[in-house]
Amino acid sequence: MTRIFSGVKPTGHLTLGNYLGAVRRWAQSDQHRADALFCIVDLHALTVEHDPARVRRLSRQAATLLLAAGLDPEVCTVFVQSHVDEHTRLSYVLECTATDGEMRRMVQYKEKAALEQRRGGSVRLSLLTYPVLMAADILAYGTDEVPVGDDQAQHVELTRDLAVRFNQRYGHTFVVPKAVHPPVAARVMNLQDPGSKMGKSDDVSSGIVYLLDEPDVVRRKVLRAVTDSGREVEYDRQAKPGVANLLEILAACTGQEPGALAGRYDSYGALKKDTAEAVVELLRPLQARHAELCADPGYVDGVLRAGAERARGLARPRVDAAYRGVGLLLPG
Ligand code: TYM
Nearest CA to ligand 1 atom 4: 8
pLDDT band at 192 (very low <50, low <70, confident <90, very high): very high
18 close to ligand 1 (CB < 6 Angstrom): yes
Binding residues for L-tryptophan: 137
Note whether 139 and 106 are same-domain residues: yes
* Mean of pLDDT values over 282-307: 97
pLDDT band at 69 (very low <50, low <70, confident <90, very high): very high
Nearest CA to ligand 1 atom 26: 7
Q: Above 90 in pLDDT, residue 182?
A: no
Q: Above 90 in pLDDT, residue 162?
A: yes
* Mean of pLDDT values over 10-29: 96
Q: Is residue 64 part of a domain?
A: yes
Q: Above 90 in pLDDT, residue 183?
A: no
192 close to ligand 1 (CB < 6 Angstrom): no
Distance 328 CA to ligand 1 centre (A): 33
Binding residues: 9-11, 17-18, 137, 149-151, 188, 197-201
pLDDT at 186: 86
Choose one of 18, 189, 237 to mutate for the ligand 1 pocket test, by most ligand atoms within 8 angstroms of C-beta: 18
Note whether 164 and 85 are same-domain residues: yes
Residue 272 sits in a domain of what CATH number? 1.10.240.10
Whole-angstrom Cα distance, residue 225 to residue 304? Answer: 37
Per DSSP, 6 falls in state E
Distance 239 CA to ligand 1 centre (A): 27
pLDDT at 202: 75
pLDDT band at 121 (very low <50, low <70, confident <90, very high): confident
- Let me know: does 259 contact 235? Beta carbons within 8 Å: yes
pLDDT band at 116 (very low <50, low <70, confident <90, very high): confident
4 close to ligand 1 (CB < 6 Angstrom): no
Q: Is residue 331 part of a domain?
A: no
The torsion defined by the Cα of 170, 171, 175 and 177, in degrees rounded to 10, comes to 50
Mean pLDDT score of the chain, rounded to an integer?
96
Q: What is the pTM of this model?
A: 0.96
Distance 64 CA to ligand 1 centre (A): 17
Name the residue range of residue 146's domain. Answer: 3-181+297-326
137 close to ligand 1 (CB < 6 Angstrom): yes
pLDDT band at 229 (very low <50, low <70, confident <90, very high): confident
pLDDT at 27: 98
pLDDT band at 232 (very low <50, low <70, confident <90, very high): very high
* Mean of pLDDT values over 220-225: 98
| Own/partner pairs, 43-47, CB within 8 angstroms, 24+ separation | 43/81, 43/82, 43/87, 43/88, 43/133, 44/7, 44/9, 44/11, 44/81, 44/130, 44/133, 44/134, 45/9, 45/10, 45/11, 46/124, 46/126, 47/112, 47/124, 47/126, 47/127, 47/130
Q: Above 80 in pLDDT, residue 204?
A: no
Q: Above 90 in pLDDT, residue 283?
A: yes
Number of domains within the chain: 2
Contacts of 113 (CB under 8 A, 6+ apart): 123, 127, 128
Q: Is residue 332 part of a domain?
A: no
Query: Would you name the residues annotated as active-site residues?
Result: 112, 197, 200
C-alpha 178 chain-centroid distance: 15
Query: In the chain, at which residue ranges do the beta strands (DSSP E only) sit?
Result: 3-8, 35-40, 77-80, 145-147, 178-180, 189-190, 193-197
22 close to ligand 1 (CB < 6 Angstrom): yes
- Let me know: does 250 contact 275? Beta carbons within 8 Å: yes
* Mean of pLDDT values over 158-180: 98
Note whether 79 and 150 are same-domain residues: yes
pLDDT at 311: 98
Note whether 286 and 307 are same-domain residues: no
pLDDT at 98: 98
Note whether 145 and 58 are same-domain residues: yes
21 close to ligand 1 (CB < 6 Angstrom): yes
Atom of ligand 1 nearest to the CA of 198: 15
Listed residue (205, 283, 209) closest to 24, CA to CA: 283
Strand 3-8's sheet: what is its strand order? 77-80, 35-40, 3-8, 145-147, 178-180
Q: Above 80 in pLDDT, residue 180?
A: yes
pLDDT band at 237 (very low <50, low <70, confident <90, very high): very high
DSSP 144-175: SEEE--GGGHHHHHHHHHHHHHHHHHH-S---
CB burial of residue 328 (10 Å; 0-12, 13-18, 19+): exposed
Note whether 76 and 150 are same-domain residues: yes
Residue 134 sits in a domain of what CATH number? 3.40.50.620
pLDDT at 203: 72
Range scoring the smallest mean pLDDT among 46-50, 143-147, 193-197, 203-207: 203-207
pLDDT at 120: 87
pLDDT at 305: 98
Tell me, what amino acid is at 282?
A: L
Q: Above 80 in pLDDT, residue 267?
A: yes
Atom of ligand 1 nearest to the CA of 147: 22
Note whether 123 and 240 are same-domain residues: no
Q: Is residue 126 part of a domain?
A: yes
